[in-house]
Amino acid sequence: MMDRTEIENNVTPEKLSKRTLVPQESKTKKRRSLIKGIIYALLILTAVICFIPFLMMLVNATRSNDAILTGFTLIPGTALMENYRTMMEYVNIWNGFKNSLIISVLVTLLTGYFSALTAYGFAFYTFKGKNFLFVFMLVMMMVPGQLGLIGFYELCKNLGILDTFIPLIIPAIASPFVVFFLRQYIQTTLHPSLIEAARIDGASELRIFHTVAIPIMMPAVATMSIFTFIGSWNNYIVPLVVLFSPEKYTLPVLMGFLKGSQVAQNLGSMYLGIAISVVPIMIAFLFLSKYIVNSISAGAVKE
């Protein structure tokens, strides 16, 4: 991706105004800075609109139910601990956090490793049926997840793995999109002669994959891992279908549970519960935002 600053540096407004707008320079400049000011004001307004629901959430999380019912103010209340106790009486939100974290971390690791393995197999070996399998995988990539939901539920029932984390974790081994992305990546970055050299040195095939291919694929694996993690963390319909025991609920399912529970009577506790599910993501985003934004750009432009 090309940096935007490069574009800006090529043609600066100064250069242009010298070229074309010499007589009215000061007038245009004034008008331009006025327009700029208006645009900034609109941008900031948009940013405020983006953020205001979160702000309301954070403020209301510290206010008591009665205070929330009487009106909205931006001044934080004092009922934070009370709201927390009320919420924890009915719903243990940290448990949902733990479940979501276990599942998402394992899903990310499995997806990363096995997708790299599969992509490497597709990219550097020639075997019968390779092209057919690859195209078949691409076709299946287009199929939305809900299509097999009912069959998936029946399968889990017959395997006796309903109400466990297995149906949420193990299928991550097969992630067609990540395989596709990594294969494109490794074909352009890893030269076959490197593999040949390792073979001559006597390395086994799996060892070559681990010591030569994986390090080269790492940037692409990291990019995909962000999306895998977010996708798994936010997944709602599959855990909703396969999990029954509240103590096994993931965070999104627990949110739905929160809505139907006694906690819903106390708006302050509700806001706090939602805030607890949201704030860690916001903090993580604070540190990763640049990386995430670049990954989205890369993903869109490369396809």
Tell the smallest beta-carbon distance from residue 185 to another protein (Å). Answer: 16
Using the rule CB under 8 A, which residue among 24, 131, 189, 297 binds another protein? Answer: 297
The residues, ordered by sequence, that sit 6+ positions from 223 with a Cβ below 8 Å of its Cβ are 295, 298, 299
Name the helix (H) or strand (E) containing 301.
helix 267-302
CA distances from 85 to 58, 92, 270 (A): 17, 10, 12
> SS3 of 267, please?
helix
**Residue 164: count of CB within 10 angstroms of its CB:** 15
CA 52, CA 50: separation in Å to the nearest integer? 6
Q: Select 24 or 46, whichever has its Cβ closest to another protein.
A: 46
The encoded tokens of residue 173 equal: 């081994």
Residue type, 177: F
Cα(152)–Cα(145) distance, integer angstroms: 10
* Touching another protein, residues 207-266 (CB under 8 A): 209, 230, 233-234, 236-237, 241, 251-253, 255-256, 258-259
165 or 233: whose CB is closer to another protein?
Answer: 233
Q: Indicate the residue among 47 and 81 with the shorter CB distance to another protein.
A: 47
Q: Where are the alpha helices (DSSP H) in 11-129?
A: 13-20, 25-61, 65-70, 80-90, 93-124
Per CB under 8 A, contacts with another protein among 183-212 are: 199, 205, 209
- Where in 20-79 is the site for another protein (CB under 8 A)? 20, 32, 35-36, 39-40, 43, 46-47, 49-51, 53-54, 56-57, 60, 68-69, 71-72
Part in contact with another protein (CB under 8 A); list of ranges 85-93, 121-129, 185-193, 217-225: 121-129
> Residue 117 or 221: which CB sits closer to another protein?
117
- Residue count, binding to another protein (CB under 8 A): 105
Binding test (CB under 8 A) with another protein, winner from 81, 140, 194, 222: 140
Applying CB under 8 A, which of residues 41, 81, 218, 281 lies at the interface with another protein? Answer: 281
